[in-house]
Chains A and B, each alone.
Chain A
Amino acid sequence: MEGAAGVTPVAGLLDFRRLDLLATGDSALHRLDARAKVIVTLVFIVCAMSFDRYAVAPLIPFFVFPIAVITAARLPITFLLRKVALVLPVALLIGLPNPWFDREVQVLLGGLEISGGWISLLSIMLRSLLAAAAAIALVAVTGFPAICGALDRMGMPRALAVQLLFLYRYMTVLGEEANRMKVAREQRGGGRPLSIRLYGALVGRLLLRTWDRAERIYLAMCARGFTGDFRGGQPSRLGRPDVAYVAGWCGLFLLLRTQDVTQWLGAALLGVLR
C-alpha cells in the first residue's frame, strides 16, 4: 500500500516518507549541522525574493544552489523535481492576473512586444521554483525533525517548533488515511466519478479518521515520555565546515543579489567570442 503513495495529488503532496528517508543518507552535506543548512536556505530565499518584480535574468544564477545541493548530496533528481513542480500551479494562480493589469510594454524581443505583466508572471514562477527547490533540498539533506530542532536552537519559540513538527507528522498520517480511503472507494466505486456530495462526506470522514489516529499517535508518544520537548540524536556543534558552508554560500548570494553577475558573464562570454 505504501508504494501507492503519490498516486493521488494529495497523497503525492504528503508523501514525505521518501524525503525522510533521503535525510538519513550520508554525504558531506548530510553531516553538516542543521543550523548551517537552515541559515543558508533562509538567506538564499531572502536574497532571491527581494529583487524587484520584473527581475528575471538576475534570478537565473540562483539555480546554482539547489542544483549544487542536489548533486553533492546525490539526491534523486526526478523525485525532487516532481515535488518542486507542485508549487507551479499555485504560483501560476498568483501571477496570472498580472498580464491583464500590467500591459505596459517592457521588452521588445525581435518584433514581439512583451508587457510588464508577462515578465512579472515569469519572475513569480522562477522565484517559486527557487524557493521550493531550496526548501525541498533542505528537507532532503536534513530531515524535518532536525530542521525543527535547528530552529528551536536558533531561538524560535519552542511551542512553534513543536507545532511544526506535529504538523509534519500529521500530514503523513493524513496522506496515509487518504490513500486508504481512495483504495476503499475505488474498490466499490465502479469507476464512477466522485460527486460533490460524496466528496464532502469523504473529506469529513478523512478528517475524523485522521483526528483519531493522530490522537493515538500522540498517546503513544506520551507513553514514551514525550513532554513537549523533542530530542534528536547528539546535539551537533557548529564546526569549521559549517562556518565555511554558511560563509561561502551567503557570500555568493549577496554577490548575486548586489552585482549584476548575469551581465558580467554575458560581457565576458562576448569578450571571449571576439
Chain B
Amino acid sequence: MSHHLVEARGLSHVYEDGTVALDDVSFRITHGESVAIIGANGAGKSTLLMHLNGHLSPTSGEVRIGETPLTRETLPAIRRTVGLVFQDPDDQLFMPTVYDDVAFGPRNQGLPEVEVDRRVREALERVGIWQVRAKPPYRLSGGEKKRAAIAGVLAMAPDILVMDEPTSGLDPYARRQLIGLLGEFRHTRIFTSHDLDMVLDLCPRTIVMLGGVVMADGATRDIFADDALLSRCRLERPLALQACPVCGSRHD
C-alpha cells in the first residue's frame, strides 16, 4: 500500500509577484495517518494543498505520492490517488443534480456506466445523502453540500483525502456529524483547518506553518501544550484544552 504515502521534499513556491508562499517545506505522511496542517491566515496552507494535487508546480523541491514524483506525466494517476475536497462546496458542485455531480469524477475516469452508478450510490450512501441525489446542489443545506462535495471525491476511490477547512461554515450539529464521518474514513487524511478542536478529535499528528515555513511537526497533544509555539504562530489552544470558563479547572 505504498501509494498512500505523501511526501514533500524541500518544497518551495514563489508566486509571480514575489510572495514566498512555501519555503523549503519537507514532511512525510505515511499510510493511514490523519494529519492536520494548521497556521494563521497566509501561512501557506492552501498553497501547500494545491501542490499535493498538482494544481501548482513547485519553484523548487518536489512532491511525491507513493514513490512517484509528481510530474506532468504522473499527474492523471496522482489525481486519481489524491482526492481534494475544496473549502467552498459551491466551487466543486457544478452539475445539474447531485447524482451527476458525484458521477463526474468516475465518468472522467472512463468507467462503464454500471460501475459509475455503483460508485455514486456507494459514495452518497457513505456520506448519508443518497435521498437527495436528484436535487440540484444549490438546493442543499450547507452540511449536505459539504457531504455531496466529499461524495464526489470518494466516488473516485482515492487512497488519500485532502480537505481544505472541512468544518468551515457548518452549524455545530452538522460539524459534529461531519467530524464523526471523517473519523470513520480509513484513507490517509490531510486536513487544513482553523477548527483546532476538530484537529484534536481527528488528527493524532499536526504540522504547524508560519510564513511558508514548517514551524513544528509532531504529536497534536504536544503541539497544543506548547503555548509559546502557538502564540508565535498566531494560534491558541483548542477550547477543549483551555481552562473551563465556569470553574477554571484545566483539562490537561
Residue of B nearest to A143 (CB): B96
Q: Which of A24, A143, A172 has the most CB of B within 10 A?
A: A24
> A57-65, A115-123, A186-194, A216-224: which one contacts chain B?
A216-224
| CB of B177 within 8 Å of the partner chain | no
| CB of B156 within 8 Å of the partner chain | yes
Residues on B with beta carbons closer than 8 Å to the beta carbon of A213: 91
Pick from A143, A219, A224: contact of B55, CB under 8 Å? A219
Number of contacting residues on A, CB 8 A? 27
* A224 engages B134 (CB within 8 Å): no
Interface size, B (range): 20 to 34
| CB of A137 within 8 Å of the partner chain | no
- Interface class of chain A by DSSP: helix
- Measured CB to CB, the closest approach of chain B to A73, in angstroms, equals 16
In chain B, positions 90-131 with a C-beta closer than 8 Å to chain A are 91-92, 94-97, 100, 103-105, 107-110, 113
| CB of A199 within 8 Å of the partner chain | no
Q: Assuming the A-B contacts A225-B108, A229-B108, A233-B113, are A220 and B136 also in contact, with contact meaning beta carbons closer than 8 angstroms in the complex?
A: no
Q: Give CA–CA (A220, B108) in the complex, Å.
A: 13
> A15-23, A46-54, A75-83, A90-98: which one contacts chain B?
A15-23
* A234 engages B113 (CB within 8 Å): yes
Residues on A with beta carbons closer than 8 Å to the beta carbon of B92: 217, 220
Q: Give CA–CA (A62, B23) in the complex, Å.
A: 67
Residues on B with beta carbons closer than 8 Å to the beta carbon of A220: 84, 86, 91-92, 94
In chain B, positions 193-249 with a C-beta closer than 8 Å to chain A are none
In chain A, positions 214-256 with a C-beta closer than 8 Å to chain B are 216-217, 219-227, 229, 231-234
Q: Give CA–CA (A165, B104) in the complex, Å.
A: 14
Q: Give CA–CA (A233, B84) in the complex, Å.
A: 23
Q: Which of B109, B110, B138, B152 has the most CB of A within 10 A?
A: B138
In chain B, positions 27-57 with a C-beta closer than 8 Å to chain A are 50, 53, 55
Q: Give CA–CA (A264, B194) in the complex, Å.
A: 76
* B91 engages A20 (CB within 8 Å): no
Residues on A with beta carbons closer than 8 Å to the beta carbon of B64: none
| CB of A169 within 8 Å of the partner chain | yes
Q: Which of A221, A225, A229 has the most CB of B within 10 A?
A: A225
5 contacts between A and B (CB under 8 A): A216-B91, A217-B94, A219-B50, A224-B105, A225-B156
Contacts from A to B (Cβ < 8 Å): 2, 17, 20-21, 23-24, 143, 145, 169, 172, 213, 216-217, 219-227, 229, 231-234
Nearest 7 pairs between A and B by C-beta? A225-B108, A224-B105, A20-B96, A231-B107, A216-B91, A220-B92, A223-B84
